[in-house]
Structure 1
């Protein structure tokens, strides 16, 4: 058989005596070529002096064409298994997120407060969202594993935690649009995980990690084995990974976090200060653990359990908004409630297993079957219920202290407003189980010496189960708080029970006065368990034909053509209270939706000369939900000199909304929002998240252009590449965020005002509907750079590698025509989209001389702004009287240093037994002040765990 596909899919094809060596060289020359040197030794050799005369035919990620040579116009970055091993990572996402083009939106540090999708890690290229980065395994699609929720993990995306790292040979990243090659979701690019289906022998690894702060213990073990059978015509591999990450403590387990920095509203510009202040020692002024009267002549009265009262210490409070600085914040039990309980990094436990068997039935036909299984469990604590300025206590309340009742009579008050943080009820407790299995079968066949065909069928399913224990029920809490004295018994009773309201059956009166005052019976009545199950299923069938159509002046015109079918389904169940949105926070009603996709594509490579070629592709896609769309790509590659290669691509890419974006029912959450109708005063407002079945596909115009330099100056190996990217996405499916919706409505965007509800009498915000919308435009532009220099030393080498992504623009234009550029925004403000730094530079210095290897990794994040929609004192146009003024809008540059090393205890050829260690955040740098939904810093960008250690043993035999 002349053709053997090393990846068993649409990733790589090696023809006629092909070798992994040729593949490694080809990938390097086709790449941007990040981390290229980290491929196995047998995959990296010196390139042929004449690249284009090499007769090896390969298919590079981002293309379906098998061709000779090492050139492709689309930039491809890749990571080898050696780099994954060096860093001791138990998750492929950890290494991907070190590539500056990625934004680590969904990690254990950004999901801890949110129940949905805890334990999941996704890939987000270009800051365009994980739902615009297509993840493949050996060139084939993977069933999604994430659901809709309030966190940063996009729904309907692949969880990289399900990939067994013990079998990952390398990861390929196409950093440009690839919809014409792979279909929907590849707007930002493609992550292709190439597994080692040719593994011979065994690999085993055990590892332990922990944080310098005394938490975040992590145990992991992996085993993989592969062997040939039937005189080499068959091959089988199997791998299994186990990881148990115990997570961290809450915010107060770290000194930097316990300073509780946050934003404080100052709409009156008190003391000539800005409208928004960033201050330490923050606590909630409108709700305390004891309960506090927040308005009227009794304002500031707090309650003790014994019925006595005391006056609240407001510290620095500017008369509006939720927060104060100082005062009661100096007491541990009065710390900012938003930062309590939930961990800085959530714990999780997972098992991943994968098996692959292939058999060469004849010289021209090979078949394969593979299966994988992943089980992830994760737990976290949420925040306690926070009734901030949302309780009304009437004069006849059964638990009202006598002294306060007398004061109400003196002032003639029939009721007063009260706020309370329900620590005596406690935090909600979230548990998620995610089970994903996948089976694939397919074939490869040669039709003749020129043409070949391959195809596969895949079925994948994710079973997702989420529960939220100790979650308060809104209607029950309302009934229980409205307690009066039963005239017949003299005991407290719910007013609704006394009035015979059947909806209040079983109501137990709730005493809000003093921390610890509610009875166990009342707590049981006002709390419940939210529960949601979701089943995600995916069918994929694909067949591809490829070969040389014509012999032309500079070589054959190669084409690939094929058809694909895909069906994505989502269905589930939820408890009645969640369905009615009656929990304080809940996953909402179950989803029920389906999207069917039929596709056909053609791709061609036209050689223009020995040094130049054109590549083009067209794909027609028909969606059951939104109709037919066409995508296309054209690229050019030219090597005018031996040491210089130029490349460029232009593509039209699409992404149709997935089942969650279309069909997700409403879910409830609470967000801090500054209301411009009340001078920017801060309120805690219920925000609903939901799908939108009127959404249309996104369309993107993508440009990439760049060059690769590899001069030969005799000593060492120098490589440099630079690529410009420009992606303009029209009709982008996204949520604006509660704050943006309110701000745009106040500025005159009447279409967005339909998403905002206010009290008809007072005009105060009562609800914001943060639904999916087709926004006008999403634009990102910038540069990817890499420089690499390797020098041979004794039996090894010393290599310096520098990677950088420079982002000029990350612009969102909403339906009102208002644009915000979040390039250079290092903060992730509450209720607003996260930005990206202006640039990130990753530097790797590697010393590898057997039996010892060591690497220093330096990650530099440029300085930037906390919030690009605000103006600080060091910026032009700053005026503290402006509603968009902030006391400090600057975040300084940050540099992290990581160190890893390994030593071969025993080595014999390709077999070895080694000990290794890793230290991350070597100098234990605390993150900068940048308040977000997770705490006082931006957990997306900065390390919140602190210095961590990993040590392990690894066997290859």
Structure 2
């Protein structure tokens, strides 16, 4: 498994040649045996291979400190950034985790538009997993060492640049239920040339997954558990939200449903005839009912993909050449392409206005409206026959870096490099409804010649948008014309190009010999320019689509100038109760063209009491400046389910506008870590590190539901982001733009225990990693919400993290055979930190935040992997391996409705028992 360590004791440092300086992530200093005050978790190449991980993101998400916020399993019906694999430390968001490749920044790959996948984050799909020699994770602030974005920590992917010979692998995976077929192939080669002066490495890999196409392919999802709104005044003694199975829309159906007035409950059959809707268990308000519905096909979760299909290619090449005189040239280049496809939700309308003179209405309905004096009614419909939106995203990332590394005298080294990166992002959404065209097509009338036409062709014939309008019959199934659908539906397109230029230089070495050892220092400077330019089709630009990516992004490039210095001061060595004592400090001054000048710093220390006990601590000031997308993203639209407190928590589908905010300020964080490492006996080591991160001015989109709730709780600044009908007060829209919310507070403890010993002529390895999250608090003017122990990801809200996450493994190897059993534990928790359920303090059925079931039970996952070497001679090796994931076929809890369906795919495995087999070879 992973290893929480520092340079003094990590296997990486111990095995390195003594002539080569070691740079451990979290520090810019280079010195063999330097003892880092910041805990570093190391995930090695062997462990990644054992898990059969086709993506480094999958392996990282097994570590307790990570939250799998953005994966193909969390895409749901949201197209933006579909298929992206992001790293999210501490539950603070992927945009607060800095991703490096070989110690250098990597070009970002995500754009705006998906709350689960923040813009400006590195897509791990672009890094060839097979070439990752190790991953070093700093679980604490590191802005002083590496710059902006390192608030939660740093993920440094260190690639194998000394590969000799040829190695490759091929594997096939499949879920036990026959879906989610995965294919992964990799090939890498390296060789020296010019008498050893040069070395070249080339690598490529392909990964493809078919995904899981339907929510109803898994029992937890097919249960269709959703909150049924129970309005006030209550006469049934039940809470305001009642989680029940067999959720059906109460305000829409496949053939159409009248939802207002005296004809409420009149439903249209496939042929356009009518019958009375069966409301099942329904309390008179909200989006859902339980059961009932004379048409059981009216399932809300149709077309929710459990896992989005993703296909990716990645290529990497590196050239090193020794120019002599302690001077080396180094160049590396990479290219990655990721394509994801998903079927989005069909249109879901609850407030279409139908006029009495619509000629498509059955005569019986017209007669009843006439008798009742009705001129119109409100109509709800799920556009199953019109088909779902079909989305496709493609990301292509290219990067090239070239530089020189050299030495000056004894103990000093320097490096300078230039890097260029570019990501081309393309998104299409076909069969996407054009809202205004749709409404014009629905409003049909009979012309003087007896033909049926759009009303607008008679009342507004000169309007260019009216041209081509054909009347659309929504009553029943498949009763519309091809011309009507062609007018009402189209394809949304968005293209974005991200570019990054980096020039950086670093000088490091020993300043002089102190009384307790050499005093290493590192100084450097960096200049960075990041830009984005985008385009979109005219309909998207005008926000006319049902799900719109908005217009293309544009704005002034963000220029960053940085300078940093770092030093260590050994204070004592080889004294009683003070085997060594060392302080470390760093400072960085950064000037942003958009946000001004900020200073970050870090101070830390390591006290080796003896070979049995080490104590370490750090204190740092970290920052994150708003990125290009957070500042300049144009508005884009989607629909979200929001529980409206003004109407007793009734659920509504509401247009939500997402966009940038040029008034954003940089975030500032104060981070403190302190821990101990104990080695009580040979082969056993135990570590515990406390962390405390307090982030002020956090940049975030709160979610439409949170904005509405905060406004009703008295935070008036949020009310300006909400649009309501001036008469009915129904929600018309919410602007979920980026804001500097007040603060985020995160506290917790990381644990590790590892033990190695001999057993039955073999080697037994045991390792346990755990994270206990004490606080994950958001504070704004509306109050405080602690999402530590919140295991749900409620629709339109921020997801939380469990109180405890533990990953452990036990492995045994002997000769050519090795096997490992891995376990992962997710503690019990609540579904929604904003709600109170039975058994919780303060629960009352009449309270506006009451829910029938707010508890989520603990989950345990077991994985088994094994490998056997069938041939080995020198560098030649052939190995067969197999992996069985989720041996117990543990399904997610089904009482956790989220944006990706009835379950929370952020925390829980939605695939079930699955297998992988493969072969690895080296030559």
TM-score by shorter chain over 0.5: yes
- CA drift of 1:760 comes to 1.1
| Contact residue 115 and residue 701 of structure 2 kept, 8 A | no
Match of 1:686 in 2: 655
| Contact residue 111 and residue 151 of structure 1 kept, 8 A | no
The correspondence of residues 115-514 of structure 1 with structure 2, limited to 5 A, is 115-268=79-232, 269-328=234-293, 332-336=296-300, 339-388=301-350, 390-487=351-448, 489-499=449-459, 500-502=461-463, 503-514=465-476
- Following the alignment from structure 2 to structure 1, what is the Cα–Cα distance between the partners of residues 335 and 794? 37
| Contact residue 398 and residue 423 of structure 2 kept, 8 A | yes
**Structure 1 residues 121 and 29, CA gap change in structure 2 (3 angstroms):** closer
Of 130-139 and 794-803, deviating more is 794-803
Give TM-score, length-normalised by structure 2: 0.97
Match of 1:913 in 2: 878
**Structure 1 residues 307 and 343, CA gap change in structure 2 (3 angstroms):** closer
Match of 2:610 in 1: 641
| Contact residue 270 and residue 318 of structure 1 kept, 8 A | no
- Once the two structures are superposed, residues 235-279 of structure 1 have per-residue CA deviations (whole angstroms, 9 ceiling, x without a partner) of 100000011111112111122211111111112234110001111
Secondary structure in 2 aligned to 1:771? Answer: coil
- Once the two structures are superposed, residues 80-130 of structure 1 have per-residue CA deviations (whole angstroms, 9 ceiling, x without a partner) of 000010011100001100110000000010014111111210000000000
Match of 2:569 in 1: 606
- Once the two structures are superposed, residues 844-901 of structure 1 have per-residue CA deviations (whole angstroms, 9 ceiling, x without a partner) of 0111112111111110100000011111111111100000000000001100111111
Which runs of no fewer than 5 residues in structure 2 stay unpaired?
574-579
| Contact residue 213 and residue 254 of structure 1 kept, 8 A | no
Match of 1:673 in 2: 642
Q: Give the alignment partner of residue 95 of structure 1, picking from 29, 46, 59.
A: 59
- Following the alignment from structure 1 to structure 2, what is the Cα–Cα distance between the partners of residues 659 and 691? 9
- Following the alignment from structure 1 to structure 2, what is the Cα–Cα distance between the partners of residues 646 and 895? 32
Secondary structure in 1 aligned to 2:73? Answer: coil
Give TM-score, length-normalised by structure 1: 0.94
Secondary structure in 2 aligned to 1:84? Answer: helix
- Once the two structures are superposed, residues 57-90 of structure 1 have per-residue CA deviations (whole angstroms, 9 ceiling, x without a partner) of 4221111111242411011001000001001110
Secondary structure in 2 aligned to 1:711? Answer: strand
- CA drift of 1:910 comes to 4.4
Of 70-79 and 696-705, deviating more is 70-79
- Following the alignment from structure 2 to structure 1, what is the Cα–Cα distance between the partners of residues 708 and 337? 40
- CA drift of 1:675 comes to 1.2
- CA drift of 1:306 comes to 3.1
Mapped pair 1:568 → 2:530: yes
Q: Give the alignment partner of residue 748 of structure 1, picking from 714, 727, 746.
A: 714
- Once the two structures are superposed, residues 405-446 of structure 1 have per-residue CA deviations (whole angstroms, 9 ceiling, x without a partner) of 010111111111110001111100001111100000011111
- CA drift of 1:450 comes to 3.3
- Once the two structures are superposed, residues 489-513 of structure 1 have per-residue CA deviations (whole angstroms, 9 ceiling, x without a partner) of 2111000001224231110101010
Mapped pair 1:518 → 2:480: yes
- CA drift of 1:151 comes to 4.4
The list of structure 1 runs, each at least 4 consecutive aligned residues, that deviate by more than 6 angstroms after superposition, is none
| Contact residue 32 and residue 721 of structure 1 kept, 8 A | no
- Once the two structures are superposed, residues 653-700 of structure 1 have per-residue CA deviations (whole angstroms, 9 ceiling, x without a partner) of 000010000100111011111111122221111010111011010000
- CA drift of 1:792 comes to 2.3
Q: Number of aligned pairs?
A: 912
- CA drift of 1:305 comes to 3.9
| Contact residue 791 and residue 907 of structure 2 kept, 8 A | yes
- CA drift of 1:28 comes to 7.0
- Following the alignment from structure 1 to structure 2, what is the Cα–Cα distance between the partners of residues 284 and 738? 20
Mapped pair 1:556 → 2:521: no
Q: Give the alignment partner of residue 503 of structure 2, picking from 538, 541, 547.
A: 541
Of 691-700 and 59-68, deviating more is 59-68
- Once the two structures are superposed, residues 628-662 of structure 1 have per-residue CA deviations (whole angstroms, 9 ceiling, x without a partner) of 00000000101011111110000000000100001
Q: Give the alignment partner of residue 532 of structure 1, picking from 488, 494, 502.
A: 494
**Structure 1 residues 31 and 454, CA gap change in structure 2 (3 angstroms):** closer
- Following the alignment from structure 2 to structure 1, what is the Cα–Cα distance between the partners of residues 510 and 65? 35
| Contact residue 29 and residue 71 of structure 1 kept, 8 A | no
**Structure 1 residues 772 and 864, CA gap change in structure 2 (3 angstroms):** same
**Structure 1 residues 612 and 514, CA gap change in structure 2 (3 angstroms):** same
- Once the two structures are superposed, residues 606-638 of structure 1 have per-residue CA deviations (whole angstroms, 9 ceiling, x without a partner) of 110120110000000000001000000000101
**Structure 1 residues 297 and 31, CA gap change in structure 2 (3 angstroms):** farther
- CA drift of 1:44 comes to 6.1
Secondary structure in 1 aligned to 2:584? Answer: strand
- Once the two structures are superposed, residues 899-948 of structure 1 have per-residue CA deviations (whole angstroms, 9 ceiling, x without a partner) of 11111111224431011111111111111021111111111000111111
| Contact residue 166 and residue 203 of structure 1 kept, 8 A | no
| Contact residue 32 and residue 77 of structure 1 kept, 8 A | no
**Structure 1 residues 69 and 835, CA gap change in structure 2 (3 angstroms):** same
- CA drift of 1:554 comes to 1.3
Of 300-309 and 139-148, deviating more is 300-309
- Following the alignment from structure 2 to structure 1, what is the Cα–Cα distance between the partners of residues 761 and 559? 55
- Following the alignment from structure 2 to structure 1, what is the Cα–Cα distance between the partners of residues 445 and 142? 66
| Contact residue 8 and residue 35 of structure 2 kept, 8 A | no
**Structure 1 residues 245 and 307, CA gap change in structure 2 (3 angstroms):** closer
- Following the alignment from structure 1 to structure 2, what is the Cα–Cα distance between the partners of residues 303 and 794? 72
- CA drift of 1:794 comes to 6.0
| Contact residue 545 and residue 560 of structure 1 kept, 8 A | yes
| Contact residue 32 and residue 76 of structure 1 kept, 8 A | no
- Following the alignment from structure 1 to structure 2, what is the Cα–Cα distance between the partners of residues 193 and 86? 18
Match of 1:18 in 2: none
Secondary structure in 1 aligned to 2:777? Answer: strand
- Following the alignment from structure 1 to structure 2, what is the Cα–Cα distance between the partners of residues 59 and 729? 28
Aligned-residue CA RMSD in angstroms? Answer: 1.7
- Following the alignment from structure 1 to structure 2, what is the Cα–Cα distance between the partners of residues 566 and 56? 29
| Contact residue 5 and residue 42 of structure 2 kept, 8 A | no
**Structure 1 residues 450 and 56, CA gap change in structure 2 (3 angstroms):** closer
- Following the alignment from structure 1 to structure 2, what is the Cα–Cα distance between the partners of residues 57 and 531? 49
Secondary structure in 1 aligned to 2:297? Answer: helix
**Structure 1 residues 244 and 56, CA gap change in structure 2 (3 angstroms):** closer
- CA drift of 1:739 comes to 1.0
Which runs of no fewer than 5 residues in structure 1 stay unpaired?
1-23, 49-53
- CA drift of 1:348 comes to 1.1
- Following the alignment from structure 2 to structure 1, what is the Cα–Cα distance between the partners of residues 271 and 411? 89
Secondary structure in 1 aligned to 2:63? Answer: coil
- CA drift of 1:165 comes to 1.2
- Once the two structures are superposed, residues 801-847 of structure 1 have per-residue CA deviations (whole angstroms, 9 ceiling, x without a partner) of 11000000000012x15110000000111111000000111110111
| Contact residue 5 and residue 39 of structure 2 kept, 8 A | no
- Following the alignment from structure 1 to structure 2, what is the Cα–Cα distance between the partners of residues 28 and 887? 41
Mapped pair 1:859 → 2:821: no
- Following the alignment from structure 1 to structure 2, what is the Cα–Cα distance between the partners of residues 332 and 361? 74
Mapped pair 1:732 → 2:698: yes
Mapped pair 1:944 → 2:910: yes
Mapped pair 1:890 → 2:859: no
Match of 2:6 in 1: 30
Secondary structure in 2 aligned to 1:722? Answer: strand
Match of 1:846 in 2: 811
Match of 1:5 in 2: none
Secondary structure in 1 aligned to 2:500? Answer: strand
- Following the alignment from structure 2 to structure 1, what is the Cα–Cα distance between the partners of residues 348 and 623? 42
